[in-house]
Chain A
Amino acid sequence: MRRRGVARLAALSIAVCGASVGASPGLAQQDPLTRAFDLERRGDYVAAVDAYRAVLARRPSEVSAILGLERSLVPLNRLPEIIPAVRAALAAAPVPAAPSLAPVYAAGIRAWAAAGEPDSLRRLAERWVQVSPRDELPYREWGAALLPHDRPGAKQVYLLGRERLARPEALAAELAQLALLEEDYPTALREWVAAIRKLPGYQPSAVGALQGAPSRIRPELLRLLERDGSREARRLAAELSVRWGDAVGGFRLLRSTLGTGPSEDREALHRFIESLRGVGTREAMRAQAMALEALAERSPEAQASRQRVEAAHLYSESGDRDAARRMLAGVADDRAGGSGAASAAAALVSLLLEEGKPEEAERRLAAAAGTIPADERDALARRIARGWIRQGRLDRAAQAVARDSSVDGLALQGRIRLYRGDLAGARRQWQAAGPFAGSREEATERAMLLATLQTIEADSLPELGEALLAAERGDTAAAVAGLERVAGELDPVAGGAELRLMAGRMEAARRRNVDAERLLRSAAIERAPATAAAAELELGRLLISLDRREEAVEVLEHLVLEHPQSALVPQARRLLDVARGAVPRT
């Protein structure tokens, strides 16, 4: 046993020694090529050319060296000098048809093209064709070499290749691109369809190339695809329709091609959905939803639920609420739907709230309460409370969040108190809720309202509550009138200026610019400097939006110079830059 181990060790040592001895000449042979690569990488092309030639002197058919020589000669503008090396490589090759020689032929073709010798180029290309008579590559390289200087010649070569190869789809992608260069879109279209038929992977290239077709000829191109009628043509038409702004039409075309097999259908639908991601128009969202719905019909149940929920969201965002509700109700009522059903129920509640149906939403939430996680249920209850607030039903709103002791719940309860005019109660609840409850926007808005409330000395002002509730319900006109009325009864320093500022912001938001300007100017009084700075900033913003830039500059300069300690000064400086046209408009 031990002796056998020693014998094995000895054999291994010999093998290792043998390998290392045998490897030495190999490494020595590789060195010049490595050196040539290094010289090329460092940008010393002159030396790299010499190094590659040295390699080729020993091994004329070394393809890496031929290609390296070509790369180094190009920046030196000496590409034709590669020709002797190409000749030697071809002469030295034991089998002229070896596929590994293709790069050598290609390099030779490019060199003859650079030398401006079309006859030699043709001879070399024909020689390549002779040894590879079934291959498209010689024609592809030959045409590409001619293309920059001789477009008709390139076209002839491609057509010659197609004829000799006797394949109608041969070199279709090349002919398509050539047709595009000639702005012959119908031909380009036909060739792309042929190319896709041969290799479906060409589809994205075809779409990318054809999407830039001028709008006037797009209908004609779609007609050509319709006339072709093949599945490839209809799928290309579907994607082009999407790119040309008719996403729903695109989906209809795609739908007409489905039915070949679940796997292929799913792939086509996935590709279509992906092509619409990020488009963001209502039409695109609707088409995406339709595709998701079709995908759900072809997917396993667990995936299908998720896809239907996603489709519902998209339908909803595209404005097709009926379709959204149809999707969601189907999933939510599915008792075996698991988390998909819960998520659908939540989405359905949201949808009903968006439609202004808090009563129905409350019913749906109660029915699905057991399946929805507690945090999510509370969040939905708060949304229902907001829905009631928007309807002016403060009692139902308070009832919906009565048992919610989260910070978000406290914040909402504070808001309900505010709308009832209980300023002291609102202040108390909001202070208990802290500064981080709700979304960032809600927290910021609440902080601003709290700052306003703190300047007001009264504990109860029902008229202010009504005005703010009117604003919440979208009745800005009533809100502004109410705010102005309350402001008139308060000292400017004790909330009067702040309420005018708030009313001015509301008027500016609804583009009632004259009233906005009047209110903002009346808020910008020296006795209330903090409010004055904020009012001047708003006023500056308003004047810029009205293109009264010089006046804006005056107001903003006043802010910067008269309130240098205000935290709003950096914003004012930025707005000054905007007013002076020094900030790019994106």
Chain B
Amino acid sequence: MRRREFIRRSGAALLAASPVTRVMGPHLRRRASWFLVPMDDAQSDHLKAYGVTYRLLQRGGRAEWLLNYRHGSFLMPADAATRRDAALAGVTVEPMDDGRVTEIRGEIAASNMDAIPLEKAPKVAVYAPPNAAPWDDAVTMALQYAGIEFGKVWDEEVLRQGLADYDWLHLHHEDFTGQYSKFFLNYAGAPWLMEMVDRNQRMARKLGFPSVPAEKRAVAQAIAAYVERGGFLFAMCTATETLDLALASDGVDIAAVYADESPMDPNASNKMDWSRALAFRDARLELRPTVSQFSDIDGHQVNAPERRQPLGSFTLFNFSAKIDPVPAMLVQNHRAVIPDFYGLTTSFTRRTLKPGVTVLAEEPGAPWVKYIHGERGQGTWTFLGGHDPEDPQHQIGDPPTDLSLHPHSPGYRLILNNVLFPAAKKKELKT
């Protein structure tokens, strides 16, 4: 309390001594020179708030991410462009004068909070086939809704070094084992599946691979190399699990006969090389080609009726903003407990996590976690289980989620935390 009072007084004294204040006198001291974008329940559109911040960075401006201050608020200069952008987006901003900002800084210094400078709008790539409907992918929907620009890449771009142009790569429900999410037998004849198979087979042929599983493995390896070189990877749903399965299965046939014309190695689980994987180890593979599950990495097994687990809710960890700013950034939220949601991969069993993986969110008491993070070489990866935070029982053919109906979605906030995280100034990344 005394410390906070001291900082407030000393801050006010410094402000009074600043050249601008001296020239303009008390008039300017009352003028708003900052906007605080609150991220607690005062915010009218949490998701678009990320867009307002991103576009400020895109215009060459600077902002600060106030970790744990009012659930991860943003502080930015009160310029006309930001005022206009926020008004158009319906984002709540609170005008602040320098004195109030100094008070906030004092509070941050004295608590488990920190101010992280954001200085560069990251270049975002979404991995998706060229004609994929944008609405079946939670990240694409979040980016579109928030108004954050992104490019699309697919196998050809990934394998031809196209990722070098991007700071941040997102994967969603791609099956990197090359088995078409194992829908091949259950959805035989469905036009969307036939198109998916045809598109993937043509791409594999074009790139000179003998089969789709072989080509997807090469793509997975290129993505791992991108992370190794310093890229930021964020993956959801099946992409998390199958990326690691593809990486660990080099030289092992883990694909069903329909995918590569040779049966899966029945002893594949014992032959995997987990040192190549990013997050997982010692998983056991699902051998049945008709069950749309890949391994026991996923705790919920939504498509294996005899093993399917009900949805609960997951809890975000509260990290130290000053010591662990990276995980702290990734979990900024106005809700600490979030209802769970299914995906082909919904969660990650604790048993299969590599040592050193940071758990960002878990279901207390359950043998699985929801949200994990780790490093590889110069880069980092973050995995979030599940398909769509606002459509917990998502089925093929369901209508797309309209995010204007969920502007406060805490699940979607987790996705957008990941988009802004690469914008943070490097020296602040302590972990």
Contacts and interface: CB of A to CB of B under 8 A. Distances in A.
Chains A and B form a bound pair:
yes
A561 B144 contact: no
Contact of A573 (B89, B285, B287, B306): B89
Contacts of A116: 266
A37 to B, nearest CB: 12
Contacts of A580: 147
Chain B binding surface SS class: loop
Given A43-B307, A560-B88, A577 B404 contact: yes
B263 interface: yes
Given A43-B367, A570-B90, A584-B141, A75 B284 contact: yes
A573 B144 contact: no
Interface string B319-357: 000000000000000000000000000000000000000
A560 B88 CA distance: 6
A212 B190 CA distance: 8
Contacts of B134: 584
Chain A binding surface SS class: loop
Name the residue among A212, A573, A580 with the largest chain B CB count within 10 angstroms. Answer: A573
Interface in B282-301: 284-290, 296
B263 A149 contact: yes
A367 B223 CA distance: 80
B355 to A, nearest CB: 22
Interface string B254-276: 00010000010011110000000
Interface residues of B, number: 37
B251 interface: no
Interface stretch (B27-35, B167-175, B373-381, B394-402): B394-402
A184 to B, nearest CB: 13
B88 A561 contact: yes
A217 interface: no
A369 interface: no
Given A580-B147, A584-B400, A74 B287 contact: yes
A149 B287 contact: no
Contact of B286 (A75, A576, A582, A583): A75
B189 interface: yes
A586 interface: yes
B257 A148 contact: yes
Interface string B68-93: 00000000000000001001111000
A74 B288 contact: yes
A76 B135 CA distance: 36
Contacts of A512: none
Given A76-B284, A114-B287, A148-B289, A564 B87 contact: yes
A71 B401 CA distance: 36
Name the residue among A43, A77, A114, A560 with the largest chain B CB count within 10 angstroms. Answer: A77
Given A148-B290, A582-B403, A584-B402, 13 more contacts: A43-B307, A75-B286, A75-B307, A114-B287, A148-B289, A149-B263, A212-B189, A561-B87, A561-B88, A570-B90, A573-B90, A583-B145, A583-B402
Interface of B: 84, 87-90, 134-135, 141, 144-145, 147, 188-190, 257, 263, 266-269, 284-290, 296, 306-307, 367, 399-404
Interface of A: 43, 71, 74-77, 79, 114, 116, 148-149, 180-181, 212, 557, 560-561, 564, 569-570, 573-574, 576-577, 580-586
Question: What are the nearest 6 A-B pairs in CB distance?
Answer: A584-B400, A584-B135, A582-B144, A212-B189, A573-B90, A586-B399
